[in-house]
């Protein structure tokens, strides 16, 4: 992903970014819409970057495959291994 600073853009593009903070901006070129400018929160950006990372997605899929094959651990066991106290064990079992 290419990242550029807003101050490197000309004024009309900066104004477009200000508009995009309020609503999506669709950029048309030759009648087609190859670009959509959509404002994101820091949390949404982190999610997008992780979901777009093929290495991360392969890691997640490997963990899911392992879970399906071998199963998981009860939350109480994980808490004990980590040395933490569950605040409400009955709620954690749901």
Domain boundaries of the chain, sorted by first residue: 6-37, 42-92
pTM beyond 0.75: the answer is no
Q: What is the pLDDT of residue 51?
A: 92
Q: What is the pLDDT of residue 6?
A: 67
d(CA 24, CA 20): 5
Q: What is the pLDDT of residue 94?
A: 55
Q: What is the pLDDT of residue 26?
A: 84
Note down pLDDT in tens along the chain; length 94 residues: 656 676 666 888 888 888 888 998 888 878 777 788 889 999 999 999 999 999 999 999 999 999 999 999 889 999 999 999 998 756 555 5
CA distances in angstroms from 71 to 63, 68, 79, listed in the order given = 10, 6, 17
Contact between 81 and 74 under an 8 Å Cβ cutoff? The reply is: no
């Amino acid at each position: 992903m290419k990242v550029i600073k807003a101050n490197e853009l000309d004024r009309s593009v900066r104004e477009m970014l200000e508009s995009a903070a309020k609503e999506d901006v669709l950029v048309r070129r030759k009648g087609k819409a190859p670009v959509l400018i959509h404002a994101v929160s820091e949390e949404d950006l982190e999610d997008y970057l992780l979901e777009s990372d093929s290495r991360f997605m392969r890691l997640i899929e490997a963990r899911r495959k392992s879970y399906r094959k071998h199963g998981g651990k009860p939350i109480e066991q994980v808490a004990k291994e980590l040395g933490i106290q569950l605040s409400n064990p009955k709620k954690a079992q749901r």
